[in-house]
Structure 1
Amino acid sequence: MTAKDNNLPIVSKMFCSSSEVVLEVRRRPHVVYGGGFVVTDSSQKVVFRVDGCGVTGKKGDLILRDGNGDALILIRPKGGIVEALNVNRQWMGYSFNYEGSQKLVFSLKEPNSFLVKNNPIRISIEHRGHSKDSDFEIKGYFPDKACSIVDSTGYIIAQVTVKQEVEELMTNKDIYQVTVKPGIDQAFVFGVVAVLDYIYDGSTRC
């Protein structure tokens, strides 16, 4: 992936920052708006939120919203009986345009086995302007809150870590942080994080 590709927005350029951004993720209890999580910046302003736990009426559906509550990405498992029997289930992320119609922006394939921590999780971009080499991979293990999203060259575009002060006090994985590199679409990053949360039985899942 080239530096030029890195700076191409996947969801929208309004979610690409010229500098590195560190955002905090807090899980919501299932009793509050159907679970999910909230993403805040250093001033505790809500940047994104993810609604899950069947909030759309369909099990497995997730919605990434901006700080105003507007829907950005609808995420759902690829349907069909054949897909249900497939070990490598795929997740599809659709963006909404101003008319409300949906467009596929990324797909994520679940790992072969959840028992192997370093099993790769692959993400493909379905977006005009991005090269065929602009696919991504998850390195590390999300349940430990120690993983990265890397591009095809191995460049880390985003990193999930436990907050240092939280780690010192307790092993609480309900609060963690995501560092997003300059020029990277933050909405895309948290769309991926939402899928990982669901796959590993997080707050988005009932």
Structure 2
Amino acid sequence: MAIVVGAEYCDPEERVLTVRKTSHFSPGDGFAAYDHRTGALAFRADTYGRGHGGGAASAGELALLGPGGEPLLTVRRRRPSLHQRWEGFLGARADGQKPLFSARRPSILGLGGAAAGAVVELLPAASAAPREPLLLRVDGSFPRRCCRVVAAPRAEGEKAKVVAEIRRKVDEAARVVMGLDVFVLKVSPGFDAAFAMGIVLVLDQIAGDDDTVDAKIW
């Protein structure tokens, strides 16, 4: 179990979310994610601190919310930064709060000596409760909605493990592939689905909707 936001978001079975981009004014302007099994709203991201939306995030921040509007994660770009770098905070970020995770577009040589699109690192817990280190990479192209989030091996002899996957949404009835504004997020058993959605927000900020940009590593 990779509990980051909460155990309630770590399903023992694979969880499939249909994610819909709800606004197209700029990258990250809004998302709604629906549970494939129930059709119910699971997450939404539509409060960005522009003087509206309830104040769940300050200017320049993105808030991942639960279905009832409760803040689960706050993501913001770190400035100044040599490379594009983001930080994620648990809930609605407070002054002085330690980040939960960091994400960055690495330099030319990334993990394994290959060009990297995004690297996400779960940071040590600020509380006394220990947290296992977790390093994730993004393999594929988020703008084309075809990529995987892979956990790096934690010990010698272990293999890298796919913890989430983003794919184009297919309308089975019509047998057509839907547009880029609707896609599927598959979350592996035991991995935190709220954390996976937080990674989606960061990827959208890094890549936007420019389908000419690939995020390839390893």
TM-score, with length taken from structure 2? 0.74
Find 1:157's aligned residue among 140, 158, 163.
163
CA shift at 1:58, angstroms?
A: 1.5
Equivalences for 1:99-138 in 2 at 5 Å? 102-112=97-107, 119-128=116-125, 129-132=130-133, 134-138=134-138
Q: How does 1:35-74 map to 2 (within 5 A)?
A: 35-42=29-36, 43-51=38-46, 54-55=49-50, 56=57, 58-59=59-60, 61-74=61-74
- The equivalent of 2:142 in structure 1 is 142
Aligned twin of 2:4: 10
The match for 1:4 is none
Deviation, structure 1 residue 96: 2.4
- 1:148-183: per-residue Cα shift (whole Å, max 9, x none)? 110013200000000122895356100000000111
Equivalent residue in structure 1 for 2:21, among 21, 27, 32: 27
Instruction: Give the unaligned 5+ runs of structure 1.
Output: 1-6
**Conservation of the 8 A alpha-carbon contact between 1:93 and 1:107:** yes
Gap runs ≥5 in structure 2:
51-56, 109-114, 154-159, 210-218
Structure 1 position 50, deviation (Å): 1.1
Taking the aligned partners of 1:70 and 1:52, their CA distance within structure 2 comes to 11
CA RMSD across the alignment: 2.9
Give CA deviations for 1:86-114 in whole Å, capped at 9, x if unaligned. Answer: 2x1210000028x998441110012447x
Deviation at 1:125, TM superposition (A): 0.4
Going from structure 1 to structure 2, the CA distance change for 1:124 and 1:78 (only over 3 Å counts) comes to same
Asked whether the 8 Å contact 1:30–1:53 carries over to 2, the reply is no
1:92 is the counterpart of 2:93:
no
Deviations 1:38-72 (A, max 9, x none): 0001232110011255544523x110001111011
Partner Cα separation in structure 2 for residue 52 and residue 201 of structure 1: 17
What is the number of residues matched between the two proteins? 185
- Secondary structure, aligned partner of 1:14: helix
- Note if contact 1:72-1:95 (Cα within 8 Å) is conserved in structure 2: yes
Alignment pair present for 1:185 and 2:182: no
Report percent identity of matched pairs: 26
How far, CA to CA, are the matches of 1:74 and 1:123 in structure 2? Answer: 15
The residue matched to 2:202 in structure 1 has which SS?
A: helix
1:120–1:198 CA distance, 2 compared to 1 (3 A) = closer
User: 2: distance between equivalents of 1:145 and 1:52?
Assistant: 23
User: What SS does the corresponding residue of 1:130 show, helix, strand or coil?
Assistant: coil
Superposition deviation, residue 119 in structure 1? 2.9
One-letter identity of the residue aligned with 2:161: Y
User: d(CA) in 2 for partners of 1:54 and 1:9?
Assistant: 27
